[in-house]
Structure 1
Amino acid sequence: MLTEEKEDYLKAILTHDGDHSFVSNKTLSQYLNIKPPSVSEMVTRLEKAGYVETKPYKGVKLSATGLTYTLDIIKRHRLLELFLIKILQYNWEEVHQEAEVLEHRVSHLFVERLDKLLDYPVTCPHGGVIPRNEQYKELYTTSLLAYDTGDTVTIKRVRDKTDLLIYLSSKDILIDEKIEIINRDDTNKVIIVKKSDQIIVLSYDNAEHIYAEK
């Protein structure tokens, strides 16, 4: 098993479509908040270990081995989130940080038994797909920003951003909740939605990380 730091790099690469395209070191540096020289050093280590491929002036992408390993990390993380909510009764905004710690410490046997215990779920508590047999593309990819004023949509997935999850939870907006888009303010970059009689204001940045279906 790789170190936590190396696993975080692999996840960051996949987050930026590094399964099929190259991700620049600058992008990784900004995303991970790590200085560029350190990123370059780690990428070199991962390449030597066979987890990534690099191309001059293009960046880095996952090798076949790296992709398989990264999907295993994501599966562990999302099963742990579901376990924490269903069995240990955590709130959905609490589980991400807890799973971040645990995902680096559980064995494959533990994950297999956890999967069976949870009856082989399709998605995590935040609507993210749980990878199986190299199938890992998200089921829900249309963000709130794609919808128009007057549309009523159902929330299907929310990115693991703790602050956003806390805010949505405080407004009682969870997975499978219906909301109506009341207005979009392009000047101030906010989208105004309504659930029942409650009005909620979301920044475009947050709305981009909330995925829904009509």
Structure 2
Amino acid sequence: MTPMKEDYLKIIFELGGSHKKVSNKEISLGLGIAAGSVTEMISKLADEGLVVHEPYAGISLTEKGQKYAAELVRKHRLWETFLVDKLHYNFADVHSEAEILEHQTSDRLATALDSFLQHPDHCPHGGVIPSANGKFPDVTHRLLADADDGEKVELERFLDNHELLTYLEELGLRPQEQVTVIRHEPFEGPIVIQKENNDQEINVSYKASHNIFIEPDTAQENKD
């Protein structure tokens, strides 16, 4: 399987394609490619029995596609965790290294790496690490772009994309941070947010806001 096909399977997995339909637009924004290219590749993956594509409804992984994607994601995120935690890589710089390492990693090595890292359940950018049998807990698939003005949320995880992670690091944003959504600028403008206990406004681009997953601010909910 080509690296490009694998990238598609991983992005569909990360966008929730194991449990729901994912749109061409979400995949296009996640991979940073034209929508026409997405349509062509999805057709190829469907022919191979890796995805199901229902016109006007969306794309989801088949059982075969989910198993393959979970294995790739597991190995990739274990290496990202190792590089950040043990070799002290910057969390925005590990994606390309992990892309190479995941393809050279046997199941035995992945198991040993998991044990050495004491069985992490999340990678540095907040993504869930599937277990050896492909199981993983339910996670939110709500995007920062979908948050309401005035809503307090937690930045749960970021899509695994070097350009995105570099951009978010420059903005000073990390997973598990609490922020307030101030406003959505019109015409696909940025989402303006503020960190907890900080009055400085941060502009998050329209594209990036579709690559950041959020969940309700539980600390705020408990306070209320």
- TM-score (ref. length: structure 2): 0.73
Any unmatched runs of 5+ in structure 1? none
Q: Is the 8 A contact 2:145 2:210 kept in 1?
A: yes
Q: Is the 8 A contact 2:181 2:194 kept in 1?
A: yes
Q: Is the 8 A contact 1:127 1:158 kept in 2?
A: yes
Which has more radius of gyration? 1
1:138-167: CA deviation from partner (whole Å, max 9, x where unpaired): 523222233333333222111123222112
Q: Is 1:159 matched with 2:159?
A: yes
Alpha-carbon distance in structure 1 between the residues aligned to 2:8 and 2:208: 23
Whichever residue aligns with residue 173 of structure 2, its letter is I
Aligned to 1:99: 98
Q: Is 1:193 matched with 2:193?
A: yes
Q: Superposition pairs for residues 40-189 of structure 1, below 5 Å?
A: 44=47, 46-47=48-49, 52=50, 62-132=61-131, 133-136=133-136, 138-189=138-189
More moved, 55-64 vs 136-145:
55-64
Q: Superposition pairs for residues 24-43 of structure 1, below 5 Å?
A: 30=34, 33=37, 36=40
Quote the offset at 1:84 in angstroms. 0.8
Task: Decide whether aligned partners of structure 1 residues 202 and 67 sit closer, same or farther in structure 2, where only a CA change above 3 A counts.
Answer: same
1:16-56: CA deviation from partner (whole Å, max 9, x where unpaired): 6654678899x7994694894x8766764x35xxxx37789
Quote the offset at 1:92 in angstroms. 1.3
CA RMSD across the alignment: 3.5
Task: Decide whether aligned partners of structure 1 residues 192 and 130 sit closer, same or farther in structure 2, where only a CA change above 3 A counts.
Answer: same
Quote the offset at 1:73 in angstroms. 0.7
Aligned to 1:210: 212
Quote the offset at 1:114 in angstroms. 0.9
Any unmatched runs of 5+ in structure 2? 218-224
Whichever residue aligns with residue 94 of structure 1, its letter is D
Quote the offset at 1:5 in angstroms. 4.8
Alpha-carbon distance in structure 2 between the residues aligned to 1:125 and 1:91: 10
Aligned to 2:222: none
Identity %: 33
Alpha-carbon distance in structure 1 between the residues aligned to 2:101 and 2:8: 17
